[in-house]
Amino acid sequence: MQGLLNEVQEYRDRMVEWRRNIHSCPETGFHLPKTSAMVAGVLEKLGFQVHTGFAESAVLGILETGRPGNTIAVRADMDALGMQDEKDVPYRSARDGVCHACGHDVHTALLLGLASYLSEHRDQIPGGCVKLIFQPAEEGPAPGGAKLIVDSGVLDGVDAIFGAHCQPQYPAGVMGCRYGSFFASGDFFEVKLKGTGCHAASPHKGKDLISIAMEMIQAIQNIGSREIPPMKTAVISVCSINAGVLSTKNVLPSELTFGGTYRAHDGQVRDYIAGRLEQIVRDLSRMNEITCEFEDSFAFPSFANDRDITDTIYQSAAEVLGQDKVMKRPEPEMGSEDFAWYTRKYKGAFFFFGVKNEEKGLTASLHNPRFDIDEDAMVPALAVYINTLYHLLERQDV
């Protein structure tokens, strides 16, 4: 399949241009008017049936071959992050406090590259129907764009779906996948404590919310280290605490908030953590005679790669890249990915493709303000997309 890798080289410049345009004009959440309009415009020019007006700013491109075969969906996310772009490049974000630090611009450009290839090779497509889904709000707000897309019904009739994410842990031209459990569930919690504030010299006249919060946080951390069986993976992290005024060093505050997230691969473990979190916060609040508000928002479920689809991804990647470029990830991710909502309804699998290039200094991690990619990595990734799609379209047992 070296021929396919050489063939798709001609799509590099197009994908780079699309990627840089999106990168310089990032949009967040569900509100992606410019990104969605650009995607829809490209798909229309390529002769796809284009559907918009669902999941707020999602775009669906459909290509019917008119021949027997499966209906396969491929997904890309389009949204950016609310953080500053610190790169010194011509395509740096033009929006203050917003940037593509998770590679969704890359995913969108890749899927447009796939659309271009399919449009120009219609007679070579094995058959069936291709649905390209461009999704908003993978980064939130919860429950993310994937759930709204699934609930909209636009993917009804799909036999299988796959997606991918750029990965700066891997060099360009390398891909990684795994069988079974891949991403953890993601929940977020927020706790608001209220009590009587007082002078720091007279703590007995009020409630020391900071000490109470410390006790709560320690008990919360003990859930993962002492209450969850060691073979059941779970992570609980308190990520923010807000109380008092830093310049005022002699007042115990009357309000305090803290919040964080918890992740698990096992649904029962996830439910246990949810129950224990609230129990700990409310019990310690009652014991200390303060009031509390507890909010828990379920964002994404965990998901496992379908074995048959994963087999196809491994086979397709090895044919294009060579077996030595295909990595079998030994451990699941503790991060969350709203691609999980698709796999609850359709057979699906997810994989990583490398974008790191140490010689070019492109090594920053995802969600880093200096994150960037080796744009040459989009060429082998596109070849894997094409080969995987073709195999899935013609498989008899999908």
The annotation status of 102 as a binding-site residue, yes or no, is: yes
Residue 203, Cβ neighbours under 10 Å: how many?
Answer: 12
Q: Report CA torsion sign: 362, 175, 59, 375.
A: positive
The annotation status of 367 as a binding-site residue, yes or no, is: yes
Q: Residue 74 and residue 387: Cα distance in Å, rounded?
A: 12
Region of 223 please: left (phi>0), alpha (psi -120 to 50) or beta: alpha
Residue 365, Cβ neighbours under 10 Å: how many?
Answer: 12
**Active-site choice (27, 85, 105, 138):** 138
Closest CA to 293 of 261, 257, 262, 260: 257
44-52, long-range: CB within 8 Å, 24+ apart, which pairs? Answer: 46/115, 46/116, 46/118, 46/119, 47/119, 48/115, 48/119, 48/132, 51/154
Radius of gyration over every alpha carbon of the chain, rounded to an integer in angstroms = 24
The helix (run of H) or strand (run of E) holding residue 167 is strand 160-171
Q: Residue 19 and residue 11: Cα distance in Å, rounded?
A: 12
Q: What are phi and psi of 11, to 5 degrees?
A: -90, -5
The annotation status of 337 as a binding-site residue, yes or no, is: no
Closest CA to 135 of 165, 180, 178, 177: 165
Residue 352, CB-side half-sphere exposure with 13 Å CA sphere: 26
The annotation status of 104 as a binding-site residue, yes or no, is: yes
**Active-site choice (27, 77, 79, 372):** 79
Q: Residue 164 and residue 342: Cα distance in Å, rounded?
A: 13
The annotation status of 139 as a binding-site residue, yes or no, is: yes
Q: Which two tokens stand for residue 298?
A: 């379920």
Q: Residue 54 and residue 72: Cα distance in Å, rounded?
A: 19
The identity of residue 328, as a single letter, is K
Q: What is the β-pairing status of strands 129-135 and 160-171?
A: unpaired
Q: Residue 16 and residue 108: Cα distance in Å, rounded?
A: 11
Q: For this structure, is 138 an active site residue?
A: yes
Q: Residue 136 and residue 78: Cα distance in Å, rounded?
A: 5
List residues forming the annotated binding site for Mn(2+): 102, 104, 139, 165, 367
Q: Which residues are catalytic?
A: 79, 138
